[in-house]
Amino acid sequence: MSYRKLIHSNMNISTSSFELARTDGTKLFIEVEPVSFEEDGETVYPGVYQLQATRDDDPAGKYTEDNPGDTTAIGTFAHRADNKHEWEYLGDFLDEAEQDQIAAHIQNLEGNEHGPESFDVQAFYHGGMNSFEVTLQGDRFKVAYDGKVIAELRHNEEWEQAGGEPLEEDVFISIIQAIEAKFD
């Protein structure tokens, strides 16, 4: 099973859609529909999303395994019950890179409603303790120092720096530990 970090909260989330770039170069129109239920008179969103796909270029074309016909259910995207910051894809249609696009889409939806999730991290840098602002944006964490983004971090199989100037090892480790403490 593949798990990824994903921010989630019980908020009013509506159905959304976006164009998914398949690994094979084709594109699909994906509809992401949150599952909800009523509990004590309130709507609860448990972090489960039903996924539907339509071929973007030829919706009425012939169905194939790689290209669903008009509209086809392609699986469920769900947060793990024991950790709302990790997700699991239930289905066999999407590969890992495609699943990452779904995660980023949902993160962006939630980020747009609440604003980016930011927090400060203290680390030894340039000869003393300094503060870094870490902001979750999509599937990456942007690291800012003195108001300027200096690095981007992401978690695939392991934590890696995805952009910016190379962080000193102590700073990198301090920021990773702070992210994991905040979201685990």
SS3 content of the chain, % helix, strand, coil (to 5): 20, 45, 35
Q: Read off the pLDDT of each residue in 40-58 and give the average, rounded to a whole number.
A: 75
Q: Percent of the chain having pLDDT more than 70? A: 72
Distance between CA atoms of 31 and 116, rounded to whole angstroms?
Answer: 23
Per-domain boundaries in the chain: 4-114, 117-183
Contacts with 118 (C-beta within 8 Å, 6 or more apart), sequence order:
133, 134, 135, 136
Residue 114's pLDDT is what?
Answer: 39
User: Mean pLDDT, to the nearest integer, of 132-145?
Assistant: 82
Q: Residue 141 — pLDDT band, cuts 50, 70, 90?
A: confident
Binned at pLDDT 50, 70 and 90, residue 179 comes out as confident
Which pLDDT does position 70 carry in this prediction? 64
Q: Cβ(83)–Cβ(184) under 8 Å?
A: yes
Residue 32 phi/psi, 5-degree rounding, is -110, 110
Contact 92, 86 (CB under 8 A): no
The predicted-structure confidence for 114-128, as pLDDT tens digits, reads as follows 344 678 888 888 888
Q: What is the mean pLDDT of residues 130-141?
A: 81
pLDDT at 66: 57
pLDDT for 84 equals 56
pTM, to two decimals: 0.49
